[in-house]
Structure 1
Amino acid sequence: MKRGEKTMKKLMSLVLALAMILSLAACGGKTTGTSPDSAGDSQQETPATSDGAFPEKQITIIMPWSLGGGPDTIARQVASYGEKYLGVPVIVENHTGGSGTIAMNDALQAEDDGYTMVVANGPLFSLTPSFINVNYTLDDITPLIGMRITEFVVLTNSKSGITNIDELKAYAAEGNTIKYATTGGPGNDSYTMISVLFKLLDIPAEPVPYDGGQEAINALVGGHVDVAIGSPPTYRDYVINGELNCLGTFIPEGLEVEGIGHISSFRDQGVDVDFTGMDYFAVRSSVDDSKKEVLTNFIAEVYADPEFQEFMKGMGMEAWEATESEIVDMVEAQTEAMTEYIPLVQ
């Protein structure tokens, strides 16, 4: 064979080998997703993953009631776990006034991006609309998880010597008008229920509104009013140390409070009145369901934390882990029950 022919054969072999390598490389590119189409898909997925992270910034809890009350104290404790369970700060803002309607309106005007929660209660829907014109309904929010059952107790200053309903009636029969501390006016649950109690007892009484539950209890301890209404976080220590007396509770089955014991219901004392309230965390109903789930799981994790449970025990309470449907059912039942009491105070 001539030298030229051998050289040509070698060149042809190299060309064929190179062609095969290029062909295999092309096939390999398709299976690993490096084709232009696949690369485009990969580039689109990365921003979606980044944008889908929630939360990425501070979350705000709007609180309708004043600093230091039961729901405010619990909400602030929940918020303190934000960094631990969400990786972002959680703060509480008090938007007081209008029997809670100011806070509710502010929450519904906030962006529906999941970064604003609100603490709500039953009377915002079952009671307040009968006294105040509101532009919201229960359909505008989604309850995430319960916070607490509102266990209202009526109390007196121990110096008064009034320890039960009969002694209260005897005090009024002497010509005294009972001055009672409430948190708010008509449309507020504590105002309504204690006002109904005095109506049913046929006792002359005058409401003295305060900004929050703790202020109302402080007024009673200071002797500025005869009677006050409160929940365990605000009155418990005063009862334990003997400064205040418990006259009864609106909870129909009575109430057990850590460090105090059993508190009789007004129904058990012959007064046909009861009320079981509730506080809960909520967001605008238009918030994305996945974000609602993140927020609900966050609060549930806090409730399961041993330190938080110890905190609640110290307040004489337990977290109320009700679901959305349970909360809605309870609000609707409360709305029907309130039709019996509202005419007594309108």
Structure 2
Amino acid sequence: MKKAVVLLLIVLCMLGTLSAAGKTETNLDSWPSEPVTVICPWAVGGVADIVNRKAATYGMEVLGQPILATNELGAGGNVALTNYLKNQPNSYNLIFGGEGAFSIAPNVDGADAIQFTYADYEPIINLYSSIFVLTSDAKLNIKDLDALKAYAQGKKLKVAVNGVAGSEAFLAKALAKDLGITLELVSYNGANLALDAASKGETAFAISHQSQARGSVEAGILNPVVVFDEKGVNNDVFKNVKGVGEYGYTAYFRNRCFILARKGTDQKVIDKVRNAYLAILAKPEMVDFYASMMIEVDPMDKASMDKHVSSVAAIVKANQ
């Protein structure tokens, strides 16, 4: 009798295990059955935040569930990326990240405080590509690196940046080293806030996205000095602004914004999210929106995102 009871329990346990496995598979097939939250670890009103909120409006159409755009600030994005590790694979929470957190922060002063690595996440898609621009107080009449270098002699220049260990901070430090000048970084929780500081006169310089500097440049408050790319830009706002690469410097890269899931997330979930955002990015209204934001559609795959992280890390190590 006891043997029969034990055998029955074993069979029931096996059935339960199979049922649980089937339930997991069913859940993944129907993922998402709840709203999906996409966390932007930078300031409200910044490029990443604006793109996040715009893309989220298509959630029901492409995923069958709402996409909820939210923000969590601190340490240039590192607080949110650390807190995100509390999520389990296949979570309904996703997060933004990029080279600032994964290529720069681990390779500069303060790296021992970083509690995450790129390997803790599953990269799904790159949301956009953007070129950073250095702007200066228009009253200084600095419009290129030669004028910047001449002005900076014997001075310590205050530059507003997004975080002390992010993309903009590294680019500022590397440029200062190349020019042989001294900078003091003033940190804000978003490139838009850094740009606002320069526009208000709190600092004489700022590094931001082009779209963030647009209004101040058009109003004659700030002048573009240089863009952090191999070649320059020439558009209605930033006219014939040279790239640092044209001066012979190598510390430049385009800013990317990855959508990330927790490590171990099933490929079915990753594919669903990637395909949903590919559909969003292909919409004509999104193409027009990106053009107005002066950013590019650049839906890199995992291999390309991995390469970007390693390439920027190599640039950081070579320019310290």
CA distance in 1, matches of 2:69, 2:190: 16
CA distance in 2, matches of 1:127, 1:146: 18
2:292 match: 314
1:168–1:117 distance in 2 versus 1, CA, 3 Å? same
Q: CA deviation at 1:260?
A: 3.0
Alignment of 1:215-230 (within 5 A): 215-230=193-208
SS at match of 1:145: strand
CA distance in 2, matches of 1:323, 1:298: 14
**Contact kept in structure 2, 1:257 and 1:317, CA below 8 Å:** no
1:100–1:47 distance in 2 versus 1, CA, 3 Å? closer
1:91 match: 68
Whether 2:245 is the aligned partner of 1:267: answer yes
Q: CA deviation at 1:259?
A: 4.2
**Contact kept in structure 1, 2:90 and 2:262, CA below 8 Å:** no
**Contact kept in structure 1, 2:163 and 2:189, CA below 8 Å:** yes
SS at match of 1:61: strand
CA distance in 2, matches of 1:320, 1:237: 25
**Contact kept in structure 1, 2:103 and 2:313, CA below 8 Å:** yes
Alignment of 1:78-117 (within 5 A): 78-117=55-94
CA distance in 1, matches of 2:238, 2:28: 51
Whether 2:224 is the aligned partner of 1:246: answer yes
SS at match of 1:319: coil
2:9 match: none
1:154 match: 134
2:121 match: 141
Q: CA deviation at 1:227?
A: 0.7
1:8 match: none
2:308 match: 330
Q: CA deviation at 1:312?
A: 1.0
**Contact kept in structure 2, 1:157 and 1:223, CA below 8 Å:** yes
| 1:182-218 alpha-carbon deviations (Å, 9 max, x no partner) | 1111x21111111221122122322211221111111
| Among candidates 169, 194, 198, match of residue 191 of structure 1 | 169
Instruction: Find the structure with the greater CA-based Rg.
Output: 1
- Whichever residue aligns with residue 147 of structure 1, its letter is L
Q: CA deviation at 1:136?
A: 2.6
CA distance in 1, matches of 2:90, 2:24: 18
SS at match of 2:247: coil
**Contact kept in structure 1, 2:160 and 2:197, CA below 8 Å:** yes
1:201–1:100 distance in 2 versus 1, CA, 3 Å? same
1:299 match: 277
CA distance in 1, matches of 2:220, 2:61: 39
**Contact kept in structure 2, 1:56 and 1:88, CA below 8 Å:** yes
**Contact kept in structure 1, 2:120 and 2:262, CA below 8 Å:** yes
| Among candidates 142, 155, 161, match of residue 182 of structure 1 | 161
| Among candidates 127, 145, 153, match of residue 165 of structure 1 | 145
CA distance in 2, matches of 1:327, 1:50: 28
CA distance in 2, matches of 1:50, 1:171: 62
| Among candidates 109, 115, 126, match of residue 103 of structure 2 | 126
**Contact kept in structure 1, 2:29 and 2:268, CA below 8 Å:** no
**Contact kept in structure 2, 1:183 and 1:213, CA below 8 Å:** yes
Q: CA deviation at 1:288?
A: 1.5
1:39 match: none
Query: Which consecutive residues of structure 1, in runs of 5 or more, have no partner in the other structure?
Result: 1-44
Q: CA deviation at 1:153?
A: 0.9
- Whichever residue aligns with residue 251 of structure 2, its letter is V
- Whichever residue aligns with residue 69 of structure 1, its letter is G
- Whichever residue aligns with residue 124 of structure 1, its letter is A
CA distance in 2, matches of 1:70, 1:220: 17
1:37 match: none
CA distance in 1, matches of 2:25, 2:105: 43
Whether 2:33 is the aligned partner of 1:56: answer yes
CA distance in 2, matches of 1:46, 1:86: 20
| Among candidates 195, 199, 210, match of residue 232 of structure 1 | 210
Q: Sequence identity, in percent?
A: 25
- Whichever residue aligns with residue 72 of structure 1, its letter is D
Alignment of 1:7-22 (within 5 A): none
- Whichever residue aligns with residue 129 of structure 1, its letter is P
Q: CA deviation at 1:309?
A: 1.3
SS at match of 1:75: helix
Q: CA deviation at 1:169?
A: 2.2
**Contact kept in structure 2, 1:232 and 1:257, CA below 8 Å:** no
**Contact kept in structure 2, 1:143 and 1:283, CA below 8 Å:** yes
